[in-house]
């Protein structure tokens, strides 16, 4: 299936703000038509309008990643509005910093089911469609926390992000012969609302001091990495994880 970036349609979860919005904006800038989804539908609409008031290259759809039916409805929406779907960015996640010994089984299950379960279902629903059309790009947002056990984040968040790395490999193997690649990006601390919420201002110098390069990551750069994975030319890269962590974790 011949592809060009200009004809491609991407769907980004958790795109109303933060890293998800930066990813959506960089995809738009690269020529993709983008469906911005979020559990907060109104926030997604505002985000899409800020990228394209005319709705030609950016539109919004409410999507709660904990619900398989929401992924199915979002796929139908993308097909109805843009006529296709070629790229999925599984970005949405919930973050809680509850101390490990205080996490209840209910809270653990909730975070893992949403973060890991949402990525799994997204890959399942959108991956099936992509396999049937013979082309697709799936990018799963993991985290440094999934590689080193986390620092400022909770154990359940870290566990869910570690699981995403494995799910990425599972779907990469499953879909490789169908023209669909599946890759992950594992960012360290990024200059974003999530990091601001987790790290009090007085602790920021300590955090920066622990990062070898001495500063937070850039959200637009992460967005540009997503664009690289989403390009048709990325056909030879699948099942990988790209680390962007300022030297905090080296393989």
Q: What amino acid positions are annotated as catalytic residues? A: 157
First to last CA, the chain: 35
Name the 3-class secondary structure at 182.
strand
Closest-CA residue to 7 (of 36, 31, 25): 31
Place of tokens 């990425």: 168
CB-CB contact of 69 with 76 (8 Å): no
Phi/psi region, residue 84 (left: phi>0; alpha: psi -120 to 50; beta: rest), is: beta
Closest-CA residue to 229 (of 239, 219, 220): 239
Task: To the nearest 10°, report the CA torsion of 43, 129, 81, 37.
Answer: 0
CB-CB contact of 149 with 189 (8 Å): no
Burial category of 143 from C-beta neighbours within 10 Å (exposed 0-12, middle 13-18, buried 19 and up):
buried
């Amino acid at each position: 299936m011949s592809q060009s970036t200009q004809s491609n349609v991407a769907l980004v979860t958790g795109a109303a703000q933060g890293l998800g919005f930066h990813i959506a904006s960089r995809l738009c800038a690269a020529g993709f038509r983008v469906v911005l989804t979020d559990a907060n539908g109104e926030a997604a609409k505002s985000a899409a309008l800020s990228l394209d008031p005319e709705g030609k290259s950016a539109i919004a759809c409410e999507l709660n990643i904990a619900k398989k039916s929401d992924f199915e409805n979002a796929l139908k929406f993308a097909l109805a509005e843009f006529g296709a779907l070629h790229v999925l960015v599984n970005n949405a996640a919930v973050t809680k910093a509850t101390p490990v010994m205080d996490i209840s089984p209910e809270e653990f299950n909730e975070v893992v089911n949403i973060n890991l379960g949402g990525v799994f279902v997204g890959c399942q629903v959108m991956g099936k469609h992509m396999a049937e059309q013979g082309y697709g790009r799936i990018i799963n947002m993991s985290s440094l926390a999934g590689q080193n056990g986390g620092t400022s984040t909770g154990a359940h968040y870290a566990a869910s992000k570690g699981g995403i790395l494995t799910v990425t490999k599972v779907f990469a193997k499953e879909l490789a012969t169908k023209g669909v690649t599946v890759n992950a990006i594992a960012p360290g601390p990024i200059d974003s609302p999530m990091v601001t919420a987790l790290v009090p201002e007085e602790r920021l110098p300590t955090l920066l001091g622990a990062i070898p390069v001495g500063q937070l990551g850039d959200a637009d750069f992460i967005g540009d990495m997503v664009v690289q994975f989403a390009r048709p030319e990325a056909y030879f890269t699948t099942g990988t994880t790209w680390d962007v962590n300022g030297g905090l974790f080296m393989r």
